[in-house]
Structure 1
Amino acid sequence: MSVDYEVFLLSRIKEEHLRTGEHTPSIVFGIARTGRLVTAAALIVATMMGALASSGVTPLKIFGTGLAVAVLIDATVIRGILVPCLMQLTGQANWWAPAFMSRRKPADEPSTASSIAPSTLSAAATAASDHSTAAPGTT
C-alpha cells in the first residue's frame, strides 16, 4: 500500500505543478486530492490487521498489531507530514532530473500529446483495427 499511494500522491502533485508551474499550491492540491483516499485505505488495512491482533495466536497478534501501527504511522506521519514538508523544503529541486531522464517525457504530459501528428494517430488506429479483425492464427 505504501508505494502505491505514494505514487498516487506524487502524481497528483506533479500534474498540478505541470498545469500551474507553482510549487506550494501543487503540494497543497496533491495532499487535498489524495488525503481522504490514503486515510480511508489506511483505516481499512489497519482494521483488517486489528482483526489479526484479536486472534488467539500470539504470532498473529504481534503481526497484526505491528502492521496496524505501521500503516497508521505511514498514512499520517509519512504521507501527511513528512512528504509535504520535505517537498516544501527542497523547493524546485523536486522537479530536477538528470539530463538523460529530463529528455524523456511521459505520454500523459500535455506537451507530448500535442506533438503527435493526427495522421500518425489515424494510421496507428487503422493498423490496430486491421490486426483485431484478423482471424486467429493469421497476421
Structure 2
Amino acid sequence: MKILFTAALLFAPMFLPQPALAQPNARGLVAINRPQVELRDLFSGLGQQGSLVLGPAPAPGQRIFVGTAQLSAIAEEYGIGWQSHGVDMQVIIERPGQPLSRATITAAIATALQDAGAPAHCAITLPDFTPPMVPPDASP
C-alpha cells in the first residue's frame, strides 16, 4: 500500500493539466539600455532562451529596424516557433541616449590636461562641435 501511495505521488503531476506555453510574438517597439541585443528584445514568451545575445545594440540615441525576413531567419536559427503568417512585421529596437554638452566635454578635457601637467589657464576650443550621444547614465 505504501509503494502504491508513493507511486501515485510521483506520477500524479503527469496527469494534471499543464499550462499551455505562450506562443512567441514579435515585439513592436523595444527600448534597451545595454550594449547588446538579446533574443527577448525581438520575441516575447521565450523564458531563459530570451537572454541569448544576438549582437551589438544600436548606438545611444539610435534605432535598429528588424524586418520580417530577418525575424523569420532568427526564429528559425534559434528554434523559435514564430511565423509572420504573411504579415509584414518589424521590430524597432531603440537605445536611449543623451547628448554630452560642450561644457561637460571641455571640463573633462581640461581636467585630463591638467592631470598630465598642462597649465590651468590653457584654452580649449572645439570647432564644429556636435555633441555625442551617450547612455543616460554615462559620465565623462
TM over 0.5: no
Structure showing the higher helix proportion among its residues: 1
- TM-score grouping bracket, smaller chain normalisation: under 0.3
Instruction: Look at both structures and tell me which one has the larger radius of gyration over its CA atoms.
Output: 2
- Give the structure-1-normalised TM-score: 0.24
Structure showing the higher strand proportion among its residues: 2
- Give the structure-2-normalised TM-score: 0.24
